[in-house]
DNA sequence: CGGTATCCTCGCCGATACTG
DNA sequence: CAGTATCGGCGAGGATACCG
């Protein structure tokens, strides 16, 4: 299906075996990055960094997430190998989510970012309030 | 459109002066996080960490981005106080983008994440390929 | 060169209903 | 409790055209 015949020479730069290149549109790392940095992906990873959670726990912890998006986000992260899903054959059923070793690693980076934003929100909002007067017509929503 | 009448008590929890709470749906930090972790926001920040860039340079560097989205992303990051925009009154016109002190700080965290993903793409793809056989006859796509 | 404005499509996401 | 299936809106985002 992928008939890109332009693999002649320009694309000669090899990647060191499994090294991704985020600047390339079709590098798989783009998809992974999108999952990790998705609106709910970030929050799920950070939450799981605090320990194993059940579905409902995550749903309650992460304000504003719908069941559908939470399930979808968890599936993507599980597929990427970041999240482990354990089903307990009980009644009522119980499912627990936790980070894999790989997931723990990314989540640490994600939390570093999330923490920085939370901790510097004051400075950020201050910077926002002090832009030189630009012209109107801002597409800001 | 904001007829959420439930602002009676739930919104009572104050934040310690400028500290954000990403778990709260209406905390401003959510918007900032979304800008920073947006599909193109991440790549723009990392690119600018490499130094000042002109519009076209960024466009060429970041594969797959459209002019519209690049402009939009840069505006959002500028509004948040992460990116500085300098216009040179020349002909042909030249505009340079660089990181502010604040932007340099976030970008470092973003790059840590981006670098990790690029560097561990091999392990990630391997994890994707090796999901433990859940129920028999996995619905492997 | 470095944008902005307009159109239009696609898929994200919420709401709802149903299953085990 | 913990999901999956389906429908529909609406906004993100690409293509194009035009301006300073």
- Residue B16's pLDDT band (boundaries 50, 70, 90)? low
Determine which of A30-34, A126-130, B61-65 has the lowest per-residue pLDDT on average: A126-130
Q: Please state the rounded mean pLDDT for residues B76-98.
A: 93
The answer to whether the beta carbons of residues A132 and B129 sit under 8 Å apart is no
Least confident of B40-49, B85-94, B104-113: B85-94
Q: Among the residues of chain A, which ranges form H helices?
A: 28-36, 39-49, 55-61, 67-79, 101-119, 121-129
Q: With left for phi above 0 and alpha for psi between -120 and 50, is residue B51 left, alpha or beta?
A: left
* Contacts across the A-B interface (CB distance below 8 Å): 157
Of B25, B32, B113, the CB nearest to A117: B32
Whether the model clears a pTM of 0.85, i.e. scores above it, the answer is no
d(CA A139, C1' D17) / Å: 19
Report residues 43-72 of A contacting strand D, contact meaning Cβ closer than 7 Å: 54-56, 67-68, 71
* Closest CA in chain A for residue B79: A128
Q: State the average pLDDT for chain B.
A: 82
Q: Which of B6, B43, B46, B81 to mutate to test the interface with A (most CBs of A within 10 A)?
A: B81
Distance, CA of B64 to CA of B61 (rounded, Å): 9
The percent of residues in chain A predicted with pLDDT above 70, rounded, is 79
Q: What confidence category does residue A131 fall into, taking pLDDT thresholds of 50, 70 and 90?
A: low
CA B137 to C1' D15, whole Å: 43
Residue B121 scores a pLDDT above 90: yes
Q: Cβ atoms within 10 A of the Cβ of A14, count?
A: 7
Average pLDDT over residues B76-80: 94
Q: Angle CA(B55)–CA(B60)–CA(B62) in degrees, nearest 5?
A: 95
Residues 32-91 of B with CB under 7 A from strand D: 38-39, 64-69, 72
What are the distances in angstroms from CA B103 to CA A116, A128, B7, B111?
11, 12, 33, 12
Q: What percent of chain B has pLDDT over 90?
A: 67
């Amino acid at each position: 299906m992928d008939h890109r015949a332009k693999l002649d020479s320009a694309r000669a730069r090899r990647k060191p075996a499994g090294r991704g290149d985020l600047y390339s549109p079709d590098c798989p790392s783009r998809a992974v990055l999108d999952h990790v940095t998705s609106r709910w992906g970030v929050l799920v990873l950070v939450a799981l960094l605090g320990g194993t959670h059940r579905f409902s726990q995550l749903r309650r912890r992460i304000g504003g997430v719908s069941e559908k998006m939470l399930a979808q986000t968890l599936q993507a992260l599980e597929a990427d190998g970041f999240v482990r899903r354990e089903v307990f054959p009980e009644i009522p059923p119980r499912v627990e989510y936790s980070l894999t070793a790989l997931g723990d690693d990314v989540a640490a980076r994600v939390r570093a970012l999330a923490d920085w934003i939370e901790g510097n929100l004051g400075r950020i909002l201050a910077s926002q309030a002090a832009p030189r007067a630009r012209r109107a017509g801002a597409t800001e929503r």
